[in-house]
Each structure stands twice: as structure tokens, then as C-alpha cells.
């Protein structure tokens, strides 16, 4: 199984600032995904991070607000830009297992609080 490390694990930020979340995987993976989980809610897919090309965003999410980088097959970043209290959430990185099962592995998440 893939080991996924996210940084920071939690942070408290001021309104209007930006924060970049890092996701490091211990093996090369093809597919990396970013999810958001708002307080008391389920997970919502933000985007698929593609290596060597722009991320593919889900409806309701835009690159200007959530820019994503994927410089190689083991690393990705998600930036939450111009934050507001509504961005307070857990942000989770996920990767495809690489097995032909479609199984995903998830990081432990980055808990973001915007004041």
C-alpha cells in the first residue's frame, strides 16, 4: 500500500491569505486526487492532479481558487487562495493504488481553519 504524507496536518490562517498543502507519496503513482471535507460533511472531489499537465477540476472548483501542481509522480500541492471562513475544511490527498482494482489510498488530511 502507498504511504501518503500531507503537510501541514493542521493550520489556522487569516482571511485573505493563501495556504499551500503538500502531498508526498512513497511510490510513483499515476493518479492523484484532492478532496475537501467540510465540517460534518462527506468528501467532495476538488480535482485530479495530472503529472505534466493541468489539473482537471470538478464542477464548482476553479484553478484560480485552488491551483494545483504535480511536478512528478510522487508529489502534488494544493493551494487554497484568498481564504475565507467557508474554506475551513479538511483537505485530503488521495492516490490510485496502482493495482487493477481502482482502490484509492488517502492521506490523513490537512485540517484548515480560517479566521
Partner 1 sequence: DAKTTQPPSMDCAEGRAANLPCNHSTISGNEYVYWYRQIHSQGPQYIIHGLKNNETNEMASLIITEDRKSSTLILPHATLRDTAVYYCIVTGNQFYFGTGTSLTVIP
Chain positions contacting partner 1, by CB under 8 A = 4, 33, 35, 42-45, 48, 92, 94, 97, 101-109
Q: At its nearest, how many Å lie between partner 1 and the CB of residue 33?
A: 7
Dist CA 86 CA 19 (whole Å): 14
Instruction: Return the number of the residue (31 or 81) whose C-beta is nearest partner 1.
Output: 31
Q: Which of 48, 52, 51, 2 is nearest to 27 (CA)?
A: 2
Asked if residue 89 lies in contact with residue 39, where contact means CB atoms within 8 angstroms, the answer is: yes
Q: At its nearest, how many Å lie between partner 1 and the CB of residue 92?
A: 6
Q: At its nearest, how many Å lie between partner 1 and the CB of residue 79?
A: 20
Instruction: Return the number of the residue (75 or 106) whose C-beta is nearest partner 1.
Output: 106
Report residue 72: phi and psi, to 5°: -155, -175
Q: At its nearest, how many Å lie between partner 1 and the CB of residue 83?
A: 22
Instruction: Return the number of the residue (41 or 82) whose C-beta is nearest partner 1.
Output: 41
For the record, the C-alpha cell of 90 comes out as 479538511
- Identify the three-state secondary structure at position 86: helix
Amino acid at each position: 500500500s502507498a504511504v501518503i504524507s500531507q503537510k501541514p496536518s493542521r493550520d489556522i490562517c487569516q482571511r485573505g491569505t493563501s495556504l499551500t498543502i503538500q502531498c508526498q507519496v512513497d511510490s510513483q503513482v499515476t493518479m492523484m486526487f484532492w478532496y475537501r471535507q467540510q465540517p460534518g460533511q462527506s468528501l467532495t472531489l476538488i480535482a485530479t492532479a495530472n503529472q505534466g499537465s493541468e489539473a482537471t477540476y470538478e464542477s464548482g472548483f476553479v484553478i484560480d481558487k485552488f491551483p494545483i501542481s504535480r511536478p512528478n509522480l510522487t508529489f502534488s500541492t494544493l493551494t487554497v487562495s484568498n481564504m475565507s471562513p467557508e474554506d475551513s475544511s479538511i483537505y485530503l490527498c488521495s492516490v490510485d493504488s496502482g493495482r487493477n482494482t481502482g482502490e484509492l489510498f488517502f492521506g490523513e488530511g490537512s485540517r484548515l481553519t480560517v479566521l
